[in-house]
Structure 1
Amino acid sequence: MRSIVGLWRWRRNPLCRSSDRHEALASLCAALLILFGAPLVGLTGGVLAHEEMLGAAREQRSERHPARATVQQLVVPRPGLDADPDDADGDVARHRVVAYWTGRDGAVHTGVADAGRPLRPGERFRIWTDERGRITGPPLSEATASSQALLAGLVSAAVAAALVETVRRLTVRQLLRRRYAEWDAEWDRIGPDWGRTGSSN
């Protein structure tokens, strides 16, 4: 940003080098791209991700079906000696039960399921199954799809801004190298005569 201000201040200054103008122009382009381009990339990425997520949610809703399972017996966890009783995995283990349910094919299935809460044998709870009656996770909700799409859009915008800033820094570094090379060449030309009387004659 200082390069942009400097370009405006030095626009008619004879001491302003071409590398200064190029550096300011690179900073100006980077600022415009970050200000306008990154949000556009984030919006596009978010919209595309949202459409993809909604498609996945519709597909999962067509393939996954709710069912009522009945607790047959509890699964008693056997934690190790170093297990943390406050661990979240321990809570999940305490809620696991052996249950049976009827699939969409009419067959009775039995398996281990996560009840989500403490239950007793004979109690019923909701599960999700696939076409073959196997336990699966619930389908993706529209709210979850929207939140994930929003996150994807934010990440896309951040990545675009970071990429623009990286290109700007590389460009400025290259301009600095060229500037130092020009200084060295100029010093090699006038350095031996520096301070001598009448050296300009």
Structure 2
Amino acid sequence: MGVIGGLWRWRHNPLRRGTDLAEAWVALSALVLVCLVAPLVGFLVGGAAQGALQRSVREQHASRHRVTATVLRRASVSSPDADYETATGREARTRVVAGWTAPDGARRHGTVLSGLERPRSGDRFGIWTDAHGRLAARPLDSATATTHAVLAGIGAALLTAGAVEGGRRAVMWRMVLRRYAGWDRAWDRAGPDWGRTGAGS
């Protein structure tokens, strides 16, 4: 709304001051920056984020493997791999000691979250590991990476627009202070003679 108010001062008006024209230029410049530069910054940031995240997706899918684990037994409270102080009730119920074969052929076992409602010995479920069979987080998928990139672009555009608006407000604030200072100086010159006969008032 401040930008629109600044642009309104472009109208032909015999009372328009030089500062009004300067404020209009500031408002127009801010509007152009918000409409053109902010989307461009968002596009560039989003594109860069998309490239980096998609590379990460490819790297994670190349280095992580989904293997089938077999439940050996329920994890006990004393299991060294289980952190029951930070686990939720559901996680505590589905933690099991499981065994699996690593992509390199080595046999592995450890305490994992099975994702099974009532895990029993012999039940099978999928887990993600690295090439040596060590547990790994699920790799990022392409759609999620794209969503993050879009959000990064939108955030960058909004931050740019906010910075432009903040700069406009700072410039306007300085201009208003200078205007008030000019009024004070004019009042100081006219004030002592205000209302006196023959003082030209």
Please tell me whether residue 134 in structure 1 is matched to residue 134 in structure 2.
yes
Task: Quote the residue 1:84 is aligned against.
Answer: none
1:4 is aligned to 7
Work out whether residues 76 and 94 of structure 1, in 8 Å CA contact, stay in contact via their aligned partners in 2. Answer: no
Q: Secondary structure at the match of 2:10?
A: helix
Q: 1:180, CA displacement in angstroms?
A: 0.8
Match of 1:65 in 2: 65
In 2, Cα distance between the equivalents of 1:21 and 1:90? Answer: 67
- Once the two structures are TM-superposed, the CA of residue 137 in structure 1 deviates from its matched residue by 1.0
Cα distance between partner residues in 2 of 1:75 and 1:97: 4
CA gap of 1:94–1:77, structure 2 versus 1, over 3 A, is farther
Once the two structures are superposed, residues 35-92 of structure 1 have per-residue CA deviations (whole angstroms, 9 ceiling, x without a partner) of 22211111111111111100000111111111111011123679xxxxxxxxx93222
CA–CA separation in structure 2 for the residues paired with 1:39 and 1:105: 48
What is the alpha-carbon root mean square deviation over aligned residues? 2.0
Distance 1:186 1:77 in 2: 83
Of all paired residues, the percent bearing the same amino acid is 43
CA distance in 2, matches of 1:116, 1:194: 86
Amino acid across the alignment from 1:2: G
Aligned residue in 2 for 1:153: 153
Aligned residues: 190
Q: Contact 1:95 / 1:114 at 8 angstroms: preserved in 2?
A: yes
Q: Is the 8 A contact 1:99 1:111 kept in 2?
A: yes
Residue 96 (1) aligns with residue 99 (2): no
Corresponding residue for residue 24 of structure 1: 24
TM-score by length of 1: 0.87
Distance 1:26 1:93, change over 3 A: farther
- Match for residue 171 of structure 2? 171
What is the Cα deviation at residue 151 of structure 1?
Answer: 0.9
CA 44–198 in structure 1, closer or farther in 2 if over 3 Å, else same: same
Structure 1 runs of 4+ aligned residues shifted over 4 Å read none
Would the aligned equivalents of 2:10 and 2:21 in 1 still touch at CA under 8 Å?
A: no
Normalised by the size of structure 2, how large is the TM-score? Answer: 0.87
Alpha-carbon distance change, 146 to 16 in structure 1, aligned in 2, over 3 angstroms? same
Deviation at 1:112, TM superposition (A): 1.2
Match of 2:200?
Answer: 200
- Residue 83 (structure 2) aligns with: none
Aligned-partner residue type, residue 144 of structure 1: T
Map 1:44-63; keep pairs closer than 5 Å.
44-63=44-63
Cross-structure match for 1:116: 115
Q: In structure 2, what is the Cα distance between the partners aligned to 1:17 and 1:76?
A: 81
CA contact 2:102–2:108 (8 Å) conserved in 1: yes
